[in-house]
Amino acid sequence: MKQLLQGEGFEVVSAADGEEALTTLRRATSLPDLIISDVDLPPVSGFELLRAIRQNHDWHSIPVLLLTEHSGLDAVREGYQLGADDCLAKPLDRERFLLIVRNKLKRSAELLERIKSQEAALNAAKRSLALMVAHELRTPLVSISMATDILTREINRLDSKQVQEMIDIMQNGSVRMSRVVEQIVLFITLESGALKESMKEGMRPSPVRDAVIGAIDRARQFTYRQPDNPLQFEELDPGALVRCDLGALKHALAELISNAMAFSTPEQPIHISQWVSDGRVWLTITDYGPGIPEDELPYVFQPYHQVERHKHEQQGIGIGLTLARGIIEAHGGTFELCSVANRGTQVIVGLPHCLACAAADIIPIIV
């Protein structure tokens, strides 16, 4: 077998038994691309060798072919259960054996290349996230520091209007930083599954309008550059109830409304509609801004992805849509996004209608 593989141009290292094979692996400066082992390797069996390989973190991904003198499922069952990539019955046809070896090596190389590509993409995403988070935190921090410095040095010379301007700068910066921190915390808890678990404990019946009104107020804080965009709320079924974590639902809807505001001009109203149908409370949030280019649509829910960042600078860290969809789906809801370039974007949210909710359980509005 060694001569056959060497004749085909492969570099081959051989071991007389299982113990020598393990010793060779431990001393190797570079790991093999493929291990071929007989099952009968006294004093260590091929199965024991395979078990040792799969239990070692550094060797775990090496493809292993096991050779056995017995055919049939029972003879190779243990090998497959231990993680063998293939179990081949002897005697082996030369051409078939070489074909299998080449295929395993090719497949292994493809997987390795894919892993490297994914790692490169992940590292790029981490760098991009770090830069965005740094930018989104540093920019308001600079504004707050500047305003604080001016107030400290010039407060006796400033009139009331100028003092209010400095306070507004500090407040806007604080809100912007708070949003980034809240997004990061929610995203981590959502990805870990902890958010869904905590939401179960906080679920209470609540009027949908409370979530919408609260979300509008929060969205105006998020969209600090143009908080006065006109909003039209059309409520076709007033008093409709949903069982929800009110704080989380407000945040999800605020992300959607603030997106609509950020991509609209002040003269373009944003429409929010609510109605009940087919056991669900439906909400649509519609803007008439530039819309999302068709080639961008498949990526809008990818964390940290930002639509045409070079044109639309103030987009946060790119997890708003991901958060909104995750929170709504955690409520048993549905989420759909429709967008046409140069015409606008509409988000359609469907939440389970709470038909049998006790009045005593309804969350009161805190003003």
Strand partners, 272: 233, 285
State the amino acid at position 6 in one-letter form: Q
CB atoms closer than 10 angstroms to residue 125: 14
Question: Residue 113 belongs to what H/E stretch?
Answer: helix 94-154
State the amino acid at position 291 in one-letter form: G
Instruction: Quote the strand ranges of the chain, DSSP E.
Output: 35-38, 64-68, 86-89, 204-207, 231-235, 241-244, 270-277, 280-287, 334-340, 344-352
Single pTM value for the model: 0.57
Six-digit token string for 168: 């507004």
Backbone phi and psi for residue 351, each to the nearest 5 degrees, phi listed first: -120, 140
* Closest C-alpha among 217, 149, 137, 225 to residue 177: 137
CATH superfamily of 2-92: Response regulator (3.40.50.2300)
What confidence score (pLDDT) does residue 333 get? 94
The residues of the chain scoring below 70 in pLDDT are 71-72, 75, 122, 125-126, 128-133, 135, 224-227, 303-317, 357-367
What confidence score (pLDDT) does residue 316 get? 57
State the amino acid at position 287 in one-letter form: D
Tokens 């009045």 correspond to: 359
What confidence score (pLDDT) does residue 115 get? 82
124-192 CATH fold: Helix Hairpins (1.10.287)
Specify whether the CB–CB gap between 34 and 65 falls below 8 A.
Answer: yes
For 202-361, CATH number? 3.30.565.10
Domain ranges of the chain: 2-92, 124-192, 202-361
What confidence score (pLDDT) does residue 237 get? 92
Q: Give SS3 for 121.
A: helix
Full 3-state SS string of 297-325? HHHCCCCCCCCCCCCCCCCCCCCHHHHHH
